[in-house]
Structure 1
Amino acid sequence: MKSTTASGAAPALKQTLSTLQLWGIAVGLVISGEYFGWSYGWASAGTLGFTVTAIFIAAMYTTFIFSFTELTTSIPHAGGPFAYSKAAFGPTGGYLAGAATLIEFVFAPPAIALAIGAYLNVQFPALDPKLAAVGAYFVFMTLNIVGVQVAATFELLMALLAIFELLVFMGVVSPGFSMANFTKGGWAGQDSFSLASIPGMFAAIPFAIWFFLAIEGVAMAAEEAKEPKRSIPIAYVTGILTLVVLAVGVMVFAGGAGDWTKLANINDPLPQAMKTIVGENSNWLHMLVWLGLFGLIASFHGIILGYSRQIFALAREGYLPHFLAKIHPRFNTPHRAVLAGGVIGIAAIYSDELIKIGGQTLTANIVTMSVFGAITMYLISMLSLFKLRRSAPAMARPFRAPFYPYFPAFALFGAAVCMATMIYYNPLIFGIFTGFLALGYVFFLLTRGSREELAIYDAV
């Protein structure tokens, strides 16, 4: 890894993150997915149909993470998937993986910020949720700029508090839990399974993915890990297991608390589920709203860290304007990359007419856009793993994917199923997604010469 020098060598990041902090990032990146977003899947699939979808997606993510960890430990680079795909398929592969990852990580934060605004609006009805979302951007962009150690420690604290809050939620609603509530109309509005239930289960895929979306962001902190070859596998494996258990618990207890159909199209399903058990004025409800913010903040804050490292890595390699690779002289963080992603996210929050497509809410469409980026990256990453196993058999692999080739093959299959069904159910959003990729590819072609010059300079 190159270090920053007065002569202008490639900017680098400091290795300061511990295994526990990486676990905190892994869980924190994702844990907002347990608080909101997933319940939109109930609208099309019902509780039982969505459970089947979620189990399939959980299996895909588990096999993906075990496989992805091989790439992360072999190539510990802030660009994550960009670096793996570039090693496997050259600059064009690197561009496609990097651009897809960037879309995933830039579009996820505005959805989470809107949920933060919705949670605050429960406590302060006069507060505009969008204004609160923008305020969240300013606060947590600042915290990310101040330093990665501060950011990672804060992320760990938020993740622990968020887990505690989810356990409190399950405990508080458990006295009123009824499996009959959960199963009523559980197959897309019907009480029993039929072939008519299947389309809704496929349509719910993006919202099942939201349970686990962005856990791969730990890869973008690889350059800042003290012992990436040891700590990253531990963080990934324990992180995905933690999230699977929490996802199942939250979904089942929320659905069994009352009429689940009232939770299917809102940004704050947990407070609303608890309200049916404890009443509108209960201190438990107010505590859930306040502590529930920790989960949203953990993911919001962590994904800002993730998108900033992706922008930084792409800019450092010449795939984005090079000025975005500037590191703050005092805090040693990619401050320009942090701000650039924030500008796009804030614009998305106020782009109702552009993003409110197909009768879905603004949040649902932002989630879908982010998921398109994620699935594209998953596909390319698994293909990269297979390619590098063949083309670079001597590469150091501190962690090897277990049950190879079956685990990565299942992850690849699952991602392909997700992509096909998402395109079918969201053609217009997919068109916008491919439009972003196409615009980026034009920039990629126009800047080929400058990247070649940069590569020659770095080699010297």
Structure 2
Amino acid sequence: METPDSKQLKRVLKPVHLWAIAVGLVISGEYFGWNFGWAVSGTVGFLIATLVVTVMYVAFIFSYTELTASIPHAGGAFAYAYRAMGPLGGLIAGYATLIDFLFATPAIAFALGSYLHFLYPMMDVFWSAVFFNIVFILLNIWGVKESARFSVFITILAVGELLLFMGVVAPHFKMDNFMTNPMPFGWAGVFAALPFAVWFYLAIEGVAMVAEEVKDPKRNIPRGYISALATLVFLALGVMVFTGGITDWRKLSAIDYPLPEAIGIALGKSNSLTKLFASIGLFGLIASFHGTILASSRQVFAMARSGYLPKPLAMVNAKFKTPHWAIIAGGVISFMALYSGTTSQIIILSVMGAVVMYMMSMASLFMLRNKEPALERPFKATFYPVFPALALLLSAVCMVAIMYYNFMVSMIFFAGLAFCITIFMLLGMHKKRIMDDELLATPQQPL
């Protein structure tokens, strides 16, 4: 069967393209979502949480890159865990990755609706979010994908806007505002804020899904990942600190459009620069929105092709050569999330999937080092075993924080996982072996 990406497997991507894809996937997290962390921790408490999570991502990326370069498969963590742990491990990692990307999509849709509402108050947030979902589902089915060049363009535009934001609000920054009630809940607040700090970087791991298309992966994958992470760290800290000094931070801790609101406070909501910022901001959100739909549909397709999801989800549209049922299935999940949850709850669920996937990936790294010492590793984890162990530990801390402060959301996540495992076992999938050429490809055995 021809896959939707069968014409995209030539190794043409360079570091600048990987940088654009990674930053483009993540950059919506700089525009919204993180500010909910202020509500549970205050400005300084959230700054501490962000620094902890930044250390986690540095350790994670310098370790995860080994897996991406060694096993360049569109399934990402699903493929790594399957190879290291077998069918059940693959199921858990695949489920977590699906939750990560499938629920990031409606969260970004909410933000898109909120930005439109900020620009045009008569537009309803919910229905705007539904509209964006429908439009981008159709675009993806029709085969409209960002080219590498367009990814670079739209990402540079979004990064430039955040730099503009920092430049505009910097003169209005007041340390008194930032330091007002900085840790209202003490160190417990720092713990509670960890999931929202993860939102700053969540989805950077999506670059793994284009690993087969990278030119000279030994050099370029590390360069792409590291340059993207450096960009995101700078933007995350800059945006958070400057926004926190504009006004009473509590006014910005429960809305989906903190940056336009901050500029509106600094310059006035009728100021043309305020409107321009919110308008351009849509492009950054659209880049991430399109990227998460694309990434989640590839994950659904890869798992269905391997027998982990219903086979029809692996069907390729005869006319458009896209996995239309996989895209539609993701859209249905997105609609359900938009209807039933708030942005903060959806973000928590997405982050829960991410941290479980990070833990499974780091465990897979350790297991593959022992199980397959001869596996070609174009890039080896930096400071092994310290970095992967640190990433594993901090991911576990984040998971405990989510479970402690978001019990019901956590139960939903684990109930879904238990249901999937039950069906998996009843169908005897845990006893079946997937063909090597279908899942266990190496750089010398392209899919």
TM range (shorter): over 0.9
- Structure 2 equivalent of residue 127 of structure 1: 123
How far did residue 444 of structure 1 move? 1.8
How far did residue 442 of structure 1 move? 2.5
- Structure 1 equivalent of residue 292 of structure 2: 303
- Structure 2 equivalent of residue 15 of structure 1: 9
Classify the secondary structure of the residue corresponding to 2:292. helix
Deviations 1:206-264 (A, max 9, x none): 11000001110111222344554443222211111110000011001111112211001
Q: Amino acid of the residue matched to residue 325 of structure 1?
A: A
Q: Is 2:110 the counterpart of 1:114?
A: yes
Classify the secondary structure of the residue corresponding to 1:57. helix
How far did residue 333 of structure 1 move? 3.2
Equivalent of residue 374 in structure 1, options 346, 349, 354: 354
- Superposed, 1:347-366 pairs within 5 Å as 347-351=336-340, 355=341, 362-366=342-346
Classify the secondary structure of the residue corresponding to 1:125. coil
CA contact (8 A) 1:319 1:447 kept: no
How far did residue 145 of structure 1 move? 3.4
Q: Is 2:373 the counterpart of 1:393?
A: yes
Deviations 1:287-328 (A, max 9, x none): 111011122111111111110111011011100011211233
- Structure 2 equivalent of residue 358 of structure 1: none
Equivalent of residue 312 in structure 2, options 316, 319, 323: 323
Counterpart-to-counterpart distance in 1, 2:229 and 2:279: 25
How far did residue 456 of structure 1 move? 9.6
TM-score normalised by length of structure 2: 0.93
CA contact (8 A) 2:13 2:148 kept: no
Q: How many residues align?
A: 437
CA contact (8 A) 1:45 1:187 kept: yes
- Structure 1 equivalent of residue 269 of structure 2: 280
How far did residue 275 of structure 1 move? 1.1
Counterpart-to-counterpart distance in 2, 1:223 and 1:88: 20
Q: Is 2:250 the counterpart of 1:261?
A: yes
Q: Is 2:76 the counterpart of 1:96?
A: no
Counterpart-to-counterpart distance in 1, 2:263 and 2:353: 33
- Superposed, 1:135-284 pairs within 5 Å as 135-147=131-143, 150=146, 152-188=148-184, 197-284=186-273
- Structure 1 equivalent of residue 71 of structure 2: 75
CA contact (8 A) 2:4 2:322 kept: no
Structure 2: unaligned runs, 5 residues or longer: 440-447
TM-score normalised by length of structure 1: 0.90
Counterpart-to-counterpart distance in 2, 1:343 and 1:448: 27
Classify the secondary structure of the residue corresponding to 1:333. coil
Counterpart-to-counterpart distance in 1, 2:433 and 2:204: 34
Q: Give the stretch that moved more between structures: 441-450 or 338-347.
A: 441-450
Counterpart-to-counterpart distance in 2, 1:458 and 1:41: 41
Counterpart-to-counterpart distance in 2, 1:426 and 1:235: 34
How far did residue 330 of structure 1 move? 4.8
CA contact (8 A) 1:10 1:458 kept: no
Deviations 1:95-115 (A, max 9, x none): 000001101110111011001
Structural RMSD (CA): 2.2
Q: Amino acid of the residue matched to residue 22 of structure 1?
A: L
Q: Is 2:24 the counterpart of 1:44?
A: no
Counterpart-to-counterpart distance in 1, 2:125 and 2:321: 33
Structure 1: unaligned runs, 5 residues or longer: 189-195, 356-361
Alignment identity in percent?
A: 51
How far did residue 156 of structure 1 move? 3.0
